[in-house]
């Protein structure tokens, strides 16, 4: 087992990464203060891992909260089910919530922890690649609103993150690829040598090679932890973690949450960010194409939905969390491995990006 730390002074916490760590009692017990634990999971994950986690918690009163699975359930109604169960089972403010599942579960359980009795402890136990390398680290919690993704929530850090790479063995290939979109993101925004490593090992990751997976998870978490430690509440640097997300969130909202997986929408959005960086003269054509080819190699969609027009994108992008004082800030690449957040781009370039025929573009690569 490998251990990383998210350095946030008195709110610092460890990230445990390894095989079969769901059965490692010490990863959990040292981060549980009271005698009550509530495991929040979903109908897909519960049959696979709920009993394994419960077996490490025999000294505690455990409340099981099993939610419906899917991004479409990341809303107030489902969040209320968590509060209903906590109150019905008389969970007190020393209760620790364990978020057992992917990003939807982690975000909702974390938001419930931030809100219940004005804040209780929680532990992230991500079971998808995307949640292991991204959403479980950094304390972003929340739910979706019909007008925008993750628009309601809180910054609330966990006590620990427990990452068991063996949970990836039960994921569909589509989910593995979706997670790789976020892994590739780290190489593009801040770690060029990791980007080169990914170009050489993407097939190993798709094949669930254990050594490659653990390395990619650790490298991704280390990058995320460093950014979060420097900018916990996303006032500057942390926003670079949203490469492709502004375009991607628009795709998710327009297509209906869950029809495109988050990582799939981010991948198509990243292509749009690469194209905009190229049109601004920041990336060469070959650099743009390298990024697109890597996303293709990870079996990710690189063409936005054909039915979406520029107006569809702008409608959703106008309520993006990076809009400040009416200006839409975008995460773009000044170079491979170097991202920036900017509102200083000509509107005509954004319009050109939204009007690009990506099907024709991809055929030239």
Q: Which residue has the tokens 């809180």?
A: 154
Q: Please give the pLDDT value at position 325.
A: 65
Q: 2-170 has which fold?
A: Rossmann fold (3.40.50)
Q: Please give the pLDDT value at position 236.
A: 86
Residue spans of the chain under pLDDT 70: 324-325
Digit-coded pLDDT (tens) for 30-61: 999 999 999 999 999 999 999 999 999 999 99
Write the CA distances from 150 to 42, 61, 223, 332, integer angstroms.
19, 31, 22, 21
Please say if 20 is a catalytic residue: no
Q: Please give the pLDDT value at position 53.
A: 98
Tokens of 229: 């430690």
Domain ranges of the chain: 2-170, 173-363
From 70, 161, 148, select the one nearest 108 (Cα to Cα). Answer: 70
Write the CA distances from 178 to 172, 265, 363, integer angstroms.
10, 9, 22
Q: Please give the pLDDT value at position 171.
A: 96
| Strand partners for 40 | 65, 99
Please say if 145 is a catalytic residue: no
Which one of 31, 74, 149, 262 is the catalytic residue? 262
Question: How many Å apart are CA 319 and CA 246, to the nearest integer?
Answer: 10
Q: 173-363 has which fold?
A: Dehydroquinate synthase-like, alpha domain (1.20.1090)
Please say if 42 is a catalytic residue: no
Please say if 54 is a catalytic residue: no
Beta strands 96-101 and 36-42: pairing type? parallel
The CA angle 361-306-147, to the nearest 5 degrees, is: 120
Please say if 234 is a catalytic residue: yes
Please say if 218 is a catalytic residue: no
Q: Please give the pLDDT value at position 322.
A: 73
Please say if 118 is a catalytic residue: yes
Which one of 185, 224, 288, 329 is the catalytic residue? 224
Q: Please give the pLDDT value at position 72.
A: 93
Q: Please give the pLDDT value at position 286.
A: 98
Q: Please give the pLDDT value at position 75.
A: 97
């Amino acid at each position: 087992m490998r251990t990383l730390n998210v350095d946030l002074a008195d709110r610092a916490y460890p990230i445990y990464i390894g095989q079969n760590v769901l059965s490692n009692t010490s990863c959990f017990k040292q981060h549980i203060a009271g005698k009550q634990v509530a495991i929040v999971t979903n109908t897909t994950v519960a049959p696979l891992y709920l009993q394994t986690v419960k077996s490490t918690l025999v000294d505690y009163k455990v409340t099981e909260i099993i939610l419906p699975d899917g991004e479409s359930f990341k809303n107030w109604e489902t969040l209320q089910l968590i509060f209903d169960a906590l109150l019905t089972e008389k969970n007190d403010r020393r209760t620790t919530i364990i978020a057992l599942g992917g990003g939807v579960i982690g975000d909702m359980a974390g938001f419930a922890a931030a809100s219940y009795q004005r804040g209780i402890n929680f532990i992230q136990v991500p079971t998808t690649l995307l949640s292991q390398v991204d959403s479980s680290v950094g304390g972003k919690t929340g739910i979706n609103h019909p007008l925008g993704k993750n628009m309601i929530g809180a910054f609330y850090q966990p006590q620990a993150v427990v990452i068991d790479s063996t949970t990836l063995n039960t994921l569909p290939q589509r989910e593995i690829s979706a997670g790789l979109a976020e892994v590739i993101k780290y190489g593009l925004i801040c770690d060029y040598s990791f980007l080169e490593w990914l170009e050489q090992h993407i097939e190993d990751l798709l094949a669930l090679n254990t050594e490659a997976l653990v390395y990619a998870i650790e490298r991704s978490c280390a990058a995320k932890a460093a950014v979060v430690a420097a900018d916990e509440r996303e006032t500057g640097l942390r926003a670079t973690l949203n490469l492709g997300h502004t375009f991607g969130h628009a795709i998710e909202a327009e297509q209906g949450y869950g029809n495109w997986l988050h990582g799939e929408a981010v991948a198509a959005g990243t292509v749009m960010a690469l194209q905009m960086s190229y049109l601004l003269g920041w990336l060469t054509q070959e650099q743009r194409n390298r990024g697109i080819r890597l996303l293709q190699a990870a079996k990710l969609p690189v063409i936005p939905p054909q039915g979406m027009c520029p107006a569809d994108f702008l409608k959703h992008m106008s309520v993006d969390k990076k809009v400040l004082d009416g200006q839409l800030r975008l995460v773009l690449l000044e170079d491979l491995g170097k991202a920036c957040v900017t509102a200083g781009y000509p509107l005509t370039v954004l319009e050109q990006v939204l009007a690009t025929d990506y099907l024709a573009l991809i055929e030239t690569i």
